[in-house]
Amino acid sequence: MSNPINNRYEFVLLYDVENGNPNGDPDAGNMPRIDPETGHGTVTDVCLKRKIRNYVELVQGDEVGYRIHIKEGTPLNQNHVEAYKAVDLDPGKKANLTGVDKARRWMCANFFDVRTFGAVMTTGDNCGQVRGPVQINFSRSIDPIMQQEVTITRQAVTRIEDIENERTMGRKHIVPYGLYRAEGYVSAKLANDPKKGTGFSEADLELLWDALVNLFEHDHSAARGKMATRRLIVFKHDSDLGNAPSHVLFERVDVERKADVTTPRSFSDYVVTVNLEQLPTGVEVIEKV
């Protein structure tokens, strides 16, 4: 892996969904998540982080330094045991602060998602806590969305006792169309801190950008419909502390529905404007998409 990053970044991610459910709400029968006050659609940060993890695992496999800690079929404590053994600690025995720190550093070095997003690793064998340098806000749709429930039929039946039935019924929940905006942060200070830094590197950063650009390309399914990253706009500071407040930079990215469009049906119904005039000194805009 390359050297830890030395610059602060913010980014704006625009992605859309067509006839799919970008993030079902288990408290609402898996209907698309929605802000009940405004009608805007929402997608949680953990939903996007899951897709990033899946992409990294698909690209890197179990390559050293790029394993995924939070994944299906692997108990978290199992990785903690592996960390203890790797740094010559006894699994099942309480480690001192020095030992916990050794285990924490080993987890950061070996697991991409720990090094990137952080983790609380205090269950089982204590591997400490990690505050990740990369954080992502909840996504929010540009316009209010419509939640649509579609009834479907299935030729097969599930239970043997229903063999006489010709078919069974089911339901799918979709958003006919929605454009979503997510905002994120990358902190060089949290990557480089001598005591608590994760070692998030330049190579990790490039992999993160690659994952955000290709977030949905290997995540297609009938449930999620047609989803795609439309724009990825990055603000790069020339220092680790940064040269401007993040909200000031986010406000430079404006997304508006075209004046003659009543009901948006595609990304072409929107206009995306990035204000490049009088950028704060030391801030560069990089458009990945």
Flag whether 1 is in a domain.
no
Flag whether 270 is in a domain.
yes
Flag whether 113 is in a domain.
yes
* DSSP 8-state secondary structure symbol assigned to residue 278: T
Flag whether 2 is in a domain.
no
Q: Which residue has the tokens 């490049």?
A: 276
What pLDDT does residue 161 have?
Answer: 77
Containing 37, the helix (H) or strand (E) segment is: none
What pLDDT does residue 167 have?
Answer: 72
pTM for the whole structure:
0.94
What pLDDT does residue 166 have?
Answer: 66
* Total number of domains in the chain: 1
Flag whether 263 is in a domain.
yes
What pLDDT does residue 168 have?
Answer: 72
**Is pLDDT at 160 greater than 90 in this prediction?**
no
Residue 126, Cα to own-chain centre: how many angstroms? 26
Q: What is the DSSP string of 185-224?
A: EE-HHHHH-TTT----BHHHHHHHHHHHHTTTTT--BTTT
Stretch among 88-92, 190-194, 236-240, 267-271 having the lowest mean pLDDT: 190-194
Dihedrals φ, ψ of 98, to 5°? -65, -40
Q: Report yes or no: 62 and 108 within 8 Å, Cβ to Cβ.
A: no
Give the 3-state secondary structure of residue 163.
coil
Tens digits of residue pLDDT in 99-154: 999 999 999 999 999 999 999 999 999 999 999 999 999 999 999 999 998 888 87
Dihedrals φ, ψ of 227, to 5°? -125, 145
Mean pLDDT of the chain: 95
Work out the number of other CB atoms within 10 angstroms of the CB of residue 244: 17
Work out the number of other CB atoms within 10 angstroms of the CB of residue 72: 7
Q: Report yes or no: 212 and 183 within 8 Å, Cβ to Cβ.
A: no
Flag whether 4 is in a domain.
no
Flag whether 179 is in a domain.
yes
**Is pLDDT at 183 greater than 80 in this prediction?**
yes
Its sign, for the CA torsion 94, 100, 103, 104, is positive
> Domain of 27?
9-287
Tens digits of residue pLDDT in 173-182: 999 999 999 9
What percent of the chain has pLDDT above 90? 86
The alpha-carbon radius of gyration of the chain (Å, integer) is: 22
**Is pLDDT at 96 greater than 90 in this prediction?**
yes
Which amino acid is it at 150? Answer: V
> Cα–Cα distance between 54 and 48 in angstroms, integer?
10
Flag whether 51 is in a domain.
yes
What pLDDT does residue 78 have?
Answer: 96
Tens digits of residue pLDDT in 40-81: 999 999 999 999 999 999 999 989 999 999 998 889 999 999
